[in-house]
Amino acid sequence: MARKKVALVGAGQIGGTMALVLAQKQLGDIVLVDVVEGVPQGKALDIMEGRLSLNSSAVLAGTNNYNDIAGSDVVIVTAGVPRKPGMTRDDLLDINYGIIEKVGTAIKNTAPNAFVIVVTNPLDAMVYAMQKVTGFATEKVVGMAGVLDSSRLACFVAMELGVAAEDVQAVVMGGHGPSMVSLYDFVSVGGIPLSQLMSKEKFDELSKRTAEAGTEIVNLLKTGSAFYSPGVSAVRMAEAYLLDKKSVLTCAVELKGQYGIKGLYCGVPVILGAGGVEKVIEVKMNDAEKAAFDKSVAEVKVNAEWVDKKVKG
């Protein structure tokens, strides 16, 4: 069986993290692409030299040429600029749109069969732009945000209860911004509903921290935004696709009438497998949650309309 190929466009903090984790998991060979000369080549070689200890036979290459992503099964895009303290994700809209336009055109021309995962912020707008620029089937263009936001909430719940993070399941929906929606009834701890272990008041505190979790990291790092947890989250999505796992993950996908929304990307639970987004799962929310979700979607819509104007020139 031929080896799978994963292209990482953007060899910065998240790109480098993903390269290491993908190599360790041996999901396929890896190409790192960046506009900065030497960085993708250096990171690829650095990881290649560590393969003995990683127990990995993955082959990595670094390049400044988009043509080298040809034949990729998966392309994960982090190309762009990250936040600095005081910036919102929306502050990145203009500059990162220009980058997504270039990268999307390259993917369309050189890797037309790829499953594309966008990580660049502001996420919901950038994945929407990627689909418009490539014209790929919407099942094959997804955004990474909900996996990370849900993982952050699960982490805070685990820390609060003093239990294993891997035993906590959580769902955070909507846009990848301060209005994201954490769902109390959807958290379980080793299969036990959270309502039996934690008050709604406590949960609301953790949900607030989750919505601000990216900013918390930006303020600590000062020079950029989170990269380890975004990196592993995007790899989880790539793995679901490459191994046809039928994983239930919250991803930014195009809604086609589900949740009463049409033609907009935002975070909802889906089944990810070899077909890409194989199914959007429509969950029942209570009135307050649905109102919060609709508010979050309204914010996503503003940026999508901005992208629409750009795409039409």
Residues forming the active site: 176
The answer to whether 243 contacts ligand APR (rule: CB under 6 A) is: no
Contact with ligand APR (CB under 6 A): which of 22, 31, 48, 80?
80
What is the Cα–Cα distance from 49 to 41, expressed in whole angstroms?
Answer: 12
Q: Does 225 bind ligand APR (CB under 6 A)?
A: yes
| Of 10 and 285, CB closest to ligand APR | 10
Q: Which stretch binds ligand APR (CB under 6 A): 74-82, 191-199, 265-273, 278-286?
A: 74-82
- Asked if residue 128 binds ligand APR (CB under 6 A), the reply is no
- Residue 116 touches ligand APR, criterion: CB under 6 A: no
Nearest to 265 by CA among 177, 191, 182: 177
Task: Annotate 159-183 with DSSP letters as a single string.
Answer: HHHT--GGGEE--EEB-SSTT-EE-
Please identify, among the stretches 42-50, 80-88, 184-192, 298-306, the one whose residues bind ligand APR according to the rule CB under 6 A.
80-88
**Please, which residues have CB within 8 angstroms of residue 256's CB and are 6 or more apart in sequence?**
138, 262, 263, 280
Q: In this structure, what DSSP letter does residue 164 have?
A: -
Our finding on whether 120 is near ligand APR (CB under 6 A) is: yes
Is 175 a binding residue for ligand APR by CB under 6 A? The answer is no
Q: How far apart are CA 302 and CA 234, in angstroms?
A: 25
Q: For ligand APR, which residue of 31, 33, 147, 194 counts as binding (CB under 6 A)?
A: 33
Q: How far apart are the C-alpha atoms of 21 and 14, rounded to whole Å?
A: 11
Residue 45 interacts with ligand APR (CB under 6 A): yes or no:
no
What whole-number distance in Å separates Cα of residue 17 and Cα of residue 49?
15
- By CB under 6 A, residue 9 contacts ligand APR: yes
Q: Is 14 in the site for ligand APR (CB under 6 A)?
A: yes
Task: Give the nearer residue to ligand APR in terms of CB position, either 203 or 227.
Answer: 227
Q: What span, in angstroms and rounded, lies between the C-alpha atoms of 177 and 124? A: 9
The answer to whether residues 177 and 296 touch, using CB atoms and an 8 Å cutoff, is yes
Secondary structure (3-state) at 255: strand
Interaction site with ligand APR (CB under 6 A)? 9-15, 33-36, 78-83, 92, 96, 99, 102-103, 119-121, 224-225, 227, 230
